[in-house]
Amino acid sequence: MIEATPETLAPGPQTLPGDRTKSAKIGPMIRVNQAGELGAKEIYRGQLAVLKNHPCAPLLEEMAEQESAHLAAFDKLIAERGVRPTALSPVWRMAGYAIGTGSALLGEKAAMAVTVAVEDVIEEHYQNQLHALDRLDDGEEAELRDLIAEFRADELKHRETALENGAEEAPAYQILSRSVKSGTRLAIWLAERV
Ligand SMILES: [Fe+2]
Ligand SMILES: [Fe+2]
């Protein structure tokens, strides 16, 4: 029989049973976001390597800078909370850079089409995380929530910028868009787990 000690009667804030469940849910969220932002940063780096002298380069640079800031924020959270980072960083880096250069070689409209497709999926992914945080919420994760909401707004702006810059006129837009979207969804699924 368990003796009623002050510990068993009144567990401290660190030992509340809900805490483990909550951190078990939030850890993968931060991990997948870090992985995604790393991939996004690499996509723009790849696109810029090809399109550095194109008139759209300043736009790409601006979006790349925002992705770097997003990544830095999740790097910081990973360190602060002791979350295991994705084991697949080299994969996200390589895949992002390859998608970036590959799409840019097809032209700036294909590069923009990739942005629209990626941001479509990421925006939805961040929205799902916001809903999940709302369900878990006890007010403690307000800062994380604000961060994700802010980044989601940035991603929506990237999507808009890309649409304004001819994304939908890209060659084989539908096929390109569908492949990038399923690739991004697969990457999210993997990054939550590995
Ligand atoms: Fe981002
Ligand atoms: Fe973005």
Q: Residues of the chain whose pLDDT is less than 50?
A: 1-2, 4-13, 15
Neighbours of ion ligand 2 (CB under 5 A): 155, 158
The reported pLDDT for the residue numbered 20 is: 60
Give yes or no for a contact between 154 and 41, defined as CB atoms under 8 angstroms apart. Answer: no
Angle separating helix axes 89-105 and 108-136, nearest 10 degrees: 140
CA 158 – CA 103 distance, rounded (Å): 16
The reported pLDDT for the residue numbered 152 is: 97
CA 144 – CA 128 distance, rounded (Å): 14
Of the candidates 119, 144, 118, 150, which has an alpha carbon nearest to the alpha carbon of residue 132?
A: 144
Spacing, Cα 92 to ligand 1 middle (Å): 14
SS3 145: helix
The reported pLDDT for the residue numbered 136 is: 83
The reported pLDDT for the residue numbered 150 is: 97
The reported pLDDT for the residue numbered 10 is: 45
Spacing, Cα 37 to ligand 2 middle (Å): 8
The reported pLDDT for the residue numbered 25 is: 85
Of the candidates 53, 35, 159, which has an alpha carbon nearest to the alpha carbon of residue 104?
A: 53
User: Of the ligands numbered here, which is closest to the C-alpha atom of 70?
Assistant: 1
User: Of the ligands numbered here, which is closest to the C-alpha atom of 69?
Assistant: 1
Spacing, Cα 154 to ligand 2 middle (Å): 6
Give yes or no for a contact between 148 and 130, defined as CB atoms under 8 angstroms apart. Answer: yes
The reported pLDDT for the residue numbered 5 is: 47
The reported pLDDT for the residue numbered 49 is: 97
